[in-house]
Structure 1
Amino acid sequence: MHLLAHRGFHAEYPENTLDAFAAALQLGFEGIETDVRVSADQEPILFHDRVAKTGEPVAALTRKQLSDICGYTVPTLTEALNAFPHTYWNIEVKTPAAASLALPLLTHYDESHQILLTSFRHEIVLAAAELLDAECGFLNAHRPAAINSLLHAALPHRNLRTLVWDCEIVDPDILHQANALGFRNAVYGAKTAYEHALLREFGVQAIITDYPQHAGLMPS
């Protein structure tokens, strides 16, 4: 099972920064989950929120402006991939604009890096599966009425075989259905030691977590 640090170890460092990534890997995480947006100067930056703390849209700010607002240097996708080449990267692409920059860039890392590309925008994932050799996955914040309807578009793509679920909606039934159809399951959003233990019992392939102490990587 893969253990991925959700935006790095951000209990001590700002999330989605190189320091947070380095700290997570030092704790023993196998990989990192991070978020890609686009700045006003067309940089593929690692930043989760759509709006900066000043109330301005991130897409309307240059990387330097956003860094000044945050009080730290907001990294680019290229910087992170180059800094940690032996890491399992779960790269969540937030917007079509981010995809237009990130997907061509990632073609240069297909062979050298282990990458799982995901998005809540499933059309982005389908485009990525066409362009990249990397594994791709659908992010899901709701439970589909029928899992077949969710997976139908993925089936023609051999590298689109991962489903990433919100912990709130997942249970053994839907995990087993996905496995039976040839799909792997990852889960984000577990908050307690009990939930982490339950996901292990369910046999998920990856846990994306903010809590290394519940993942067994540091004392509780």
Structure 2
Amino acid sequence: MLSISHRGYCREVVENTWEAFEQAQSLGIDGIETDIRLTSDGQLVLFHDRRLADGRAVSDLSHMELCKAMGAQVPALVETLQRFDSLLWVLELKDQSATEPLVHALRPLVANRQLLVISFWHDSMVEVRRQLDIECGVTVAHRPADFSSYPLRPWHTIVWKYEFVDPLLIQQSIAEGHRNFVYDVQGIDEHRRCYELGLDGIISDEPQLVAAGRPAFTSDSPAVPLPLPQAPATQANRPGPITELDSGLA
């Protein structure tokens, strides 16, 4: 079961930053999930929310303006993939207008990077998959009434919200040949349940509960957390998280 760190390890540092990614990597995780948005000057950046706390849209700001507003460097996609080139990257496309820029940015990288692109924008995933030899996945934030009729066939990977993970659905999905990831998993018991269900990966805010490539717990033993890294002192005065949440991996 793969351990995927949700926006890096951001217990003590700002999410979706190189500091958060470095701390996650130090825990022995397999990969990192992050969010892709497009700035007004055409930069693909790693940023979750559509708007800042003051109401301005990320799409209306240049990369420099966004960094200034956040009081911190907001990572650009390509530079981040080049810096952390040994990890699996789960890239959630948050902005449909970023589809073509994302294809252009990933084209020279697909041959030597581990990449999975996911989104609620299914049309965008069709387009990414049409243009690139890259794995794309569909995010599911509800419980399908009839799995056999759900439009999952183009996708090899399904990313389930934890509250909708059902053993029967997972069994059906595995039988259909899908890889199954889960997000919004909280605490030891939920992580253990995901392992017991045979899921392929957990996108977690607590990646220390799963060691790289193997569970840090079994069904009959408590979790053994990995040591937590110390946060850099330079992070202490950074702005807190912005307030607006939108659809996607919360």
Q: TM-score, normalised by structure 1?
A: 0.93
For 2:37, the equivalent position in structure 1 comes to 37
1:67-106 residue CA offsets vs partner (Å, 9 max, x unmatched): 1111110011101101011110001111211112112211
Residue ranges of structure 2 left out of the alignment (5+ in a row): 211-215, 217-224, 229-250
For 1:207, the equivalent position in structure 2 comes to 202
For 1:67, the equivalent position in structure 2 comes to 67
Matched, 1:25 2:25: yes
Q: CA RMSD in A?
A: 1.4
Residue ranges of structure 1 left out of the alignment (5+ in a row): 155-159
Q: Is the 8 A contact 2:138 2:152 kept in 1?
A: no
Q: Is the 8 A contact 2:3 2:207 kept in 1?
A: no
For 2:148, the equivalent position in structure 1 comes to 148
For 1:189, the equivalent position in structure 2 comes to 184
Alignment counterpart, residue 166 of structure 2, candidates 168, 171, 178: 171
Read off the aligned partner of 1:202 and give its amino acid letter. Answer: L
For 1:157, the equivalent position in structure 2 comes to none
Cα distance between partner residues in 1 of 2:57 and 2:136: 27
Higher relative contact order, chain-length normalized (CA < 8 Å, sep 6+): 2
The offset of 1:128, in angstroms, is: 1.5
Aligned ranges 1:39-58 → 2 under 5 Å: 39-58=39-58
Q: Is the 8 A contact 1:114 1:134 kept in 2?
A: no
For 1:128, the equivalent position in structure 2 comes to 128
Cα distance between partner residues in 1 of 2:113 and 2:227: 30
Change (3 A) 1:135 1:113: same
1:122-165 residue CA offsets vs partner (Å, 9 max, x unmatched): 111111211121211001111222223333551xxxxx300000
SS of equivalent to 2:207: coil
Read off the aligned partner of 2:44 and give its amino acid letter. Answer: P
Change (3 A) 1:144 1:101: same
Q: Is the 8 A contact 2:27 2:208 kept in 1?
A: no
Matched, 1:90 2:81: no
For 1:4, the equivalent position in structure 2 comes to 4
Query: What is the percent sequence identity of the aligned residues?
Result: 38
The offset of 1:65, in angstroms, is: 1.3
Larger radius of gyration: 2
The offset of 1:219, in angstroms, is: 5.4
